[in-house]
A and B are shown apart, each in its own frame.
Chain A
């Protein structure tokens, strides 16, 4: 019989979700398919996103590595585009002989290789960033905090101890 109040006490722990101090992150795509990030509905720069996500270290690290990957992929893709256009321009710049055709062909091959490495990198990086953001949002919506907290909560319908970790 003595144990019942203890059981009652331990069962009165309230896991209250939705901690308001951590902002919610989302993203949209603009006309060119590039992403821009929203924090509580407001447009925010990518560097600031990394700072905001630092609450959860793993996700912030994942986000920043994926962001570097995205920049690398975009660089490869633009480099490929410039090389391809340059090869065409070089080929048509003067009299087409064997040497000019060889150099233009080599440039075009380089552009194809660069683009074929860049596009999958971009796709992978976008998926990784969105995964990191989704894990962050999941943790936020489930009330995971940056540090564990233990406090008394009183609401009109319930009373108890709130434990967040």
Chain B
């Protein structure tokens, strides 16, 4: 028995590689009072922007997608705010009494405001959808990217490879 153990020690360099699983991200959409929100969740926890970027550090492709989606989200939020302002302007103007039939600020402002509010709504919708699609792409790239084997080094000079999703013995020859 001791001999076999010695053989183990001599010929096989065995060590544990405990499973260190990469988190699985989910996407959830919420519609709030001002536009909609895209949440990225890890299990039940909502991650903020910094945490997502920290997780995606080793996945540059996913990270660029995510940053693009965040930018698009901000743009759509600004456009939504502008659309809200124009809608409020329309509502306000419709309560202003008509001044005279020849010159009327209400009538001159009404049509441009209507057109701009409709246009802003459509454009913000395009940005919103595209930001959602981008977020999904980023999360898919992150979840299903080929897992990198990052070498890390021990004091004894031996190279130690970390294999994700692995429980058991690594046997090196």
Contact = CB atoms under 8 A, between A and B. Distances in A.
Interface of A: 1-2, 4-5, 8, 11-18, 24, 26-29, 31, 33, 123, 127, 130, 134, 137-138, 141-143, 157-161
Contacts of B27: 130, 134
Contact of A157 (B14, B16, B132, B161): B161
Nearest to B25: A134
B133 interface: yes
Contacts of B164: 17
Contacts of A161: 168
Contact of B165 (A15, A26, A33, A157): A15
A142 B165 CA distance: 8
Contacts of B4: 5
Contacts of B172: 157
A161 B169 CA distance: 10
B6 interface: no
Interface string B1-16: 1101100100000101
Contact of B168 (A12, A26, A123): A12
Interface of B: 1-2, 4-5, 8, 14, 16-17, 19, 21, 24, 26-29, 31, 125-126, 129, 132-133, 136, 140, 143-144, 149, 161, 163-172
Given A24-B140, A24-B144, A160 B169 contact: yes
A141 B143 contact: yes
A17 B168 contact: no
A159 B166 CA distance: 11
B171 A28 contact: no
Given A127-B28, A142-B21, A158-B169, 6 more contacts: A11-B168, A15-B168, A28-B136, A137-B143, A157-B172, A158-B166
Given A29-B132, A141-B143, A157-B172, A15 B16 contact: no
Contacts of B169: 8, 11-12, 158-160
Find the residue from B24, B26, B161, B168 having the highest chain A CB count within 10 A: B168
